[in-house]
Amino acid sequence: MIKINSNELSRIKNNPINDSNSGIFGSCYYYKKDEIMKIFNNLDSYILNNIKLNVKRTSNIIIYPNDLVFLNKKFIGYTMNKAPGTSLDEIINDIFCFKKDIAFEEFLTFFYDKFIPELKKQDVLMNDIKPCHMFIDDNIYFIDTDCYEQLSNESEDAFKHNVFIINQVLMNLMLDYSEFYIQEPTLIELGNVNFMKKQLHELDVLTHGDVKTFKELVYYKR
């Protein structure tokens, strides 16, 4: 438990991370060298219960809350470790600004070989997944996990749910940042762990091998 006063809160709020980490319910701020503090604007009992259940849980890919934060005995937020690596938001921006060139196949190999095996071990329903909450380093890491729902044991249905929402993020990136159109996937397809591999194959076939990177996808002309 971390107790702070009004002066400390004002000092912390002078150190926001960035606009993309500000939401309807709260914002994230630098707290210590390796820790972030999330301060809530609005809070309901559902989120509070999730946070209490997930405090100090461990995972190789999910950054869970470290401590609850109180202001004058009132719960206002929590701390979490800084995620290693770079946010997917920043990586995509660098790709489109020609600062990086990541082979699409290389990205998906990383996704299936390193990330999916870890995802299968998670016993939570992941929610609020978006590029600014996903960090890429030696694996894919997730922050802002206060709305993750803890389960009593590992569940195949939970895994399918998690694959679905992560595939949705990846698919939206492909569609939103390109003029190239891939047939809109069904909900069942998005829940398939091999869905993105199928899309890569379709891209390769339909473009006769012209699209092998995100950058090529963005500027591809049919």
Q: What is the pLDDT of residues 136-154, one digit of tens each?
A: 888 889 988 888 887 766 5
Residue-range domains of the chain with CATH: 2-81 (3.30.200.20), 86-218 (1.10.510)
pLDDT by residue (tens digit) across 9-66?
A: 899 988 888 755 556 678 889 998 889 999 988 777 777 888 888 888 889 999 999 9
Q: In whole angstroms, give the CA distance from residue 109 to residue 197.
A: 9
Dihedrals phi, psi of 98, to nearest 5 degrees? 65, 25
pLDDT by residue (tens digit) across 101-124?
A: 776 667 777 788 888 888 888 888
DSSP tag of 62? B
Q: Are strands 86-87 and 124-125 parallel, antiparallel or unpaired?
A: unpaired
Q: In whole angstroms, give the CA distance from residue 52 to residue 56.
A: 9
Residue type, 29: Y
Dihedrals phi, psi of 146, to nearest 5 degrees? -70, -20
Q: Of residues 111 and 78, which shows the higher confidence score?
A: 78
Q: Could you tell me what percent of the chain has a pLDDT over 70? A: 83
pTM: 0.78
pLDDT at position 117: 87
